[in-house]
A and B are shown apart, each in its own frame.
Chain A
Amino acid sequence: MQQHVTLKIDGVRVQAVKGSSVLDAALSAGICIPHLCYVPVLRDSGACRLCIVEVVNDGRTKITASCTLNAEEGMAILSNTERIRKLRKNIAELLVAQAPNSRAVQDIAVRCGVKEVRYPFRNDNCIQCGRCVRYCSEYSKADAIGFVGRGKDRHVEFAFGFRRDLCKKCGFCTEYCPMSVTPCGGSMKAGEGRLCGNCDSQIASLEHFSGICFRCELGKGFKCTRQ
C-alpha cells in the first residue's frame, strides 16, 4: 500500500505519496507553482529554479527548488511569498531575455510577473531546460542526445556530434521542448523591453493537472486557462 505524508503548502493541508516531490504534491492539490524544466514522467533536475519555495523549519526558512525536494511529514512550505515572487520574477526575466520569442517562456515570464526586461535580448534557441535530454534517455531509452560543454558553451548535441543513428525518431524531444510550442509572433522584437501579457497558457497544456484549482494569485496578470 502506498504510504502518505501530510504537509502544509501555503497554509493548505496537502496529502502526498511518500517519496514524491513537494512540486508534485502542490500540483496535484491544485496549487500552481510555476515550473519549466519539470516534467511529471521524468526525473527531476532542478535546472530552471522557477519552482523555488520557502521551507519553514523552526522559524528558519530555506529557499530551495520544490521539484527536487522530497515531501516529508509535517513540512511547511510557502510557495508564494513576496521574496519568492521577486526571485522567481528575476529568474524568469533571465530566461525570457535569452529566448524572447518562445511563447512558452514568455508565458512563464508573464505568469511570474515580468513586465519589463532589464537585459539586452539574446535570441538563443535553447534555454537548456533538459526536457529533451531527459526524455530521450529516461523514457525513450535512446540516449541519442545529451548536454555537451560547460557554462556558456553548454548545448544539446548528438553523441560525439554525429551519432544521429541512435535517435529512435520518437519526436518527443521536440514535443516537450518549450521553444517549439507555438513560437511567438507577438510583440517581442529585438530592442523591445515589454511583455504584452496576452499569452495563453502554453506550458499548462503540456502538463497534467488535477481538476481542482485554487485560482491562485499567480494567475493574476495573465490569462490562466483554468480561471
Chain B
Amino acid sequence: MRKLKKSSDLESLRKRLLAARRRIRSTIVICGGTGCQASKSPEVIAAIRAELAKQGMERQVHVRATGCHGFCEQGPLLVIEPGNLFYCQVKAGDAKEIVARTVKKGDVIERLLYTDPVSGRKVRTEAEIPFYQAQDRRLLGRNRSVDPCAIEDYIAAGGYSALAKTLAGIKPEKVIAEIKASGLRGRGGAGFPTGRKWAECAEEPGDEKYVVCNADEGDPGAYMDRCLLEANPHLILEGMMIGAWAIGASAGYIYVRKEYPLAVRHARIAVEQAREFGLLGGNILGSPFSFDVEIARGGGAFVCGESTALMASLEGKVGEPRAKDIHTVKDGLWHKPTALNNVETWANVPAIILDGARRFAAKGTKDSKGTKIFALTGQVKNTGLVEVAMGTSLKDIVFNIGGGAKNGRAVKAVQTGGPSGGCLPVDRFDLPVDFDTLSEAGAMMGSGGMVVMDEGTCMVDVAKYFLGFLQDESCGKCVPCRVGVDRLLEIVTDITEGRGRREQIDLLKDLADTISVASLCALGKTAPNPVLSTLRYFPEEYIAHVDHKKCPAGVCKALIRYSIETDKCNGCGSCLRACPHGAIYSGKKKVHVIDDKECQKCGICVAECKFAAITVN
C-alpha cells in the first residue's frame, strides 16, 4: 500500500473506497464481537462465506465481520445492508436459507426476526427494537460499519479525518481548548476533566512525553473497553494521535490485558496497518508530527488499571501504585509527563474535533457531557452493551433498555461501577446517571459496569463477593487495603455464616471509613463501597443476618434450611433421585423428608420439584 503523504491522499483514498463499495450489491454484517463469538458467530461467518462462494456471489455480496453490536443477549446478530434487515440468534445452519431467500430474492425469514416481548410483534430493523430505541449510540453505532481488521473500512466511514483536520492547522492549544469546551470527563471511573489533564501535561517542560491508553478493564461484568478496542481500534488510535499532538508526545502505549486476546490482536493489526498507511510513524500526513504506538499486554492484575500501577507495569516493574501527590501529568511513565486516558475517553476525541465541542456537549447533564457506554449484565432480560446520554435515569436503562428482570422476578438493586462502586436500590432508580449524582448516592460511575440484581439476591452476600474480589486483587502494599479489606471480609463472612454480632456492624462502618480515607490508591479508597452502600440501603438485611440469623433472600447457606411441605408433596420421588448428597428420604406416608445433617443446600431439589413443595427458610 502506498503511504498517505498528505491529507488529500487520505481524501482520494476515501473516494476510491466509497466508489468501490457502490459496486457491491449488498453487505452481510455479522457481529464477531466476543459476546457473539461465544454464541458461535465465527461458524455463522464461515457458513455464510462458504454459501456465497457456492452460489458464486462472493463478488456481489460482501461479508463484514464486525465488532460488538451491543445486543449480546440475542447473538449472533446479522444485519443485511442495504435495508438494515436485522436477524438475531442466527445459526450456521441458517446460512443457506439466508443467502437463497433473503440475499437473492429479498424475502424475510420470519423466524430469525426479533420479537418484541411486549407487543409480540416481529420487527425487521434495529431501529424498531426497544433495546436500541432508547439509546444514543454515537460510539457503538459506528461498530457496525467497520471491520476492525480493515483500516479501509474505518477510512471509508470517515475515519482519520479528525486527525487530518487537526494536523492541517489546529494548534495544540486549540485542540485542548476544544476538549475543555466539550466538557469531556475521563470514562475510566474518576471522571477527571480530560481537557484539564491535557493542559497540565502540555504545560510541562521537556519534549519527551507520553500518551497512554488504559485498556486494563477488570471490573466483573464490564466489557465496554474490550468491545470498543475489539470493534474499532482505529478510533482509539486516532484519539490518541490527536491527544499526542495536543500535549506534544511522540510515543504512546496501549496497555491491554492479556485476557482480551481479540482486543490485543485487533489493536496490533490496527497499529501495523496505520504504520503501513503512514498514519503512524514520522511526519504523519506530511506534517511535522511524528508519533508511534506500542501495544503492551497486562498480566491480569486488577490493580494495574490504576494509573501509577499501570505505568510501573509498563516500565517492567511490579504493578503497584505509588502516592499520587505529584500527578502523572508531571511525573508519569519513566518520570516523564504522561496523559493517561481510558479507551472510551480516547474514542470520544475524534468526534469532538470533527464535529465540534458544542455537538458533543449538547448531550448530557450540566457537569457530565456526552454519552456513556454501560455493560448491562446480571439478572436482566436484555444483557448487552448500552450507550446512553449522560443523565439518563437508571430506570430507563434497566427497564426500557434492559427489559427488567428475568423469569418474572422483581428487580431489587443495580450495582454500578464494578467492585469499587455501590448497590443502588430500586427506589433510587429515578437518579440520573452521571458522575456526581452516582457518587453522592454512594455508588460510582466507574468504567461503566452495571449489574442488575433481582429479589433472589442477598445484599450481604453481594458485599462479600466484591470484598473477596478486592481482597484478592489488592496489591497488598498498604495496610488499610491489604489488612483492612481482609478484615472487612472476615466480618462479613461471620455475618453470612451466622456468627455476626451487632457491634460488628459499627466496626464495619468504622473500618470502612478508615480504609476509604487512608489507603494509598483509589482501589483501596473505594474498596469499602460495596459494604457501605449495602449498609446504607439495605440495613434490614444485615440486621436479619445478625439478630435473627436469617437470610431473607435465602442465599447464605449457613442461615437457611430446606424443608418439604407435607401437604404439597405427593411422593413422586424426583427430588430424591436428583439429590446428589442422598439427603432426602421417603417417610412412612411417602411424603419426602430432608435430612438437615446431610443437606448441602445446593438447591437442586427446589428446581426439580414440580409441585413447589420444597421451601427455603
Contact = CB atoms under 8 A, between A and B. Distances in A.
A5 interface: no
Contacts of A27: none
B471 A47 contact: no
A63 B517 contact: yes
Contacts of A97: 483, 487
A154 B479 contact: no
A45 interface: yes
B325 A150 contact: no
Interface string B473-486: 11111111011101
A63 B525 CA distance: 11
Nearest to B483: A94
A154 to B, nearest CB: 3
A17 B476 CA distance: 32
B440 interface: no
Contacts of B474: 150-152
A94 B487 contact: yes
A150 B517 contact: no
Interface string B5-48: 00000000000000000000000000000000000000000000
Interface in B309-339: 318, 322-323, 325-326
Given A91-B514, A119-B487, A152-B486, A65 B476 contact: no
Contacts of B553: none
Given A87-B518, A119-B487, A151-B471, A46 B476 contact: no
Given A48-B478, A87-B514, A87-B518, A70 B326 contact: yes
B483 A98 contact: yes
Contacts of B514: 86-87, 90-91
Given A49-B520, A119-B490, A154 B322 contact: no
Nearest to B519: A49
Given A63-B517, A147-B318, A128 B487 contact: no
Most buried by A among B326, B471, B480: B480
Given A94-B479, A128-B476, A151-B475, A68 B518 contact: no
A49 B478 contact: yes
B472 interface: yes
B479 A65 contact: no
B510 interface: yes
A87 B519 CA distance: 11
A116 B517 CA distance: 22
Interface in A19-38: none
B511 interface: yes
A118 interface: yes
A95 interface: yes
A47 B518 contact: no
A154 B476 contact: yes
A70 B330 CA distance: 14
B301 interface: yes
Interface of B is mostly: helix
Contacts of B490: 119-120
Interface residues of B, number: 32
B127 interface: no
Contacts of B168: none
Given A69-B325, A90-B510, A150 B479 contact: no
A64 interface: yes
A109 B486 CA distance: 19
A151 B483 contact: no
Interface string A43-71: 01111111010000000000111001110
A46 B472 CA distance: 20
A68 B479 CA distance: 15
Contacts of A64: 323, 325
Contacts of A65: 323, 520
A181 B513 CA distance: 31
B518 A154 contact: no
A91 B480 contact: yes
Given A45-B477, A68-B323, A118-B507, A94 B520 contact: no
Given A90-B510, A94-B487, A150 B520 contact: no
A94 B473 contact: no
A98 B482 CA distance: 11
Interface in A135-168: 147, 149-154
Interface in A191-214: none
A47 B475 CA distance: 11
Nearest to B319: A150
A151 B469 CA distance: 10
Contacts of B325: 64, 68-70
B128 to A, nearest CB: 48
A90 B392 CA distance: 40
Contacts of A45: 477
Contacts of B476: 128, 147, 149-154
Contact of B517 (A48, A68, A87, A98): A87
A117 to B, nearest CB: 11
B506 to A, nearest CB: 10
Contacts of B477: 45-47, 128, 130, 154
Q: Which 3 A-B pairs have the closest CB atoms?
A: A154-B476, A68-B323, A90-B514
Interface of A: 44-50, 52, 63-65, 68-70, 86-87, 90-91, 94-95, 97-98, 118-120, 127-128, 130, 147, 149-154
Given A86-B514, A90-B511, A149-B476, 17 more contacts: A46-B477, A46-B520, A49-B519, A50-B479, A63-B517, A68-B325, A69-B325, A90-B510, A90-B518, A94-B479, A97-B487, A118-B507, A120-B490, A150-B476, A151-B486, A152-B486, A154-B475
Interface of B: 301, 303, 318, 322-323, 325-326, 471-480, 482-484, 486-487, 490, 507, 510-511, 513-514, 517-520
10 contacts: A45-B477, A47-B479, A52-B518, A63-B517, A94-B480, A94-B483, A97-B487, A98-B483, A127-B479, A154-B482
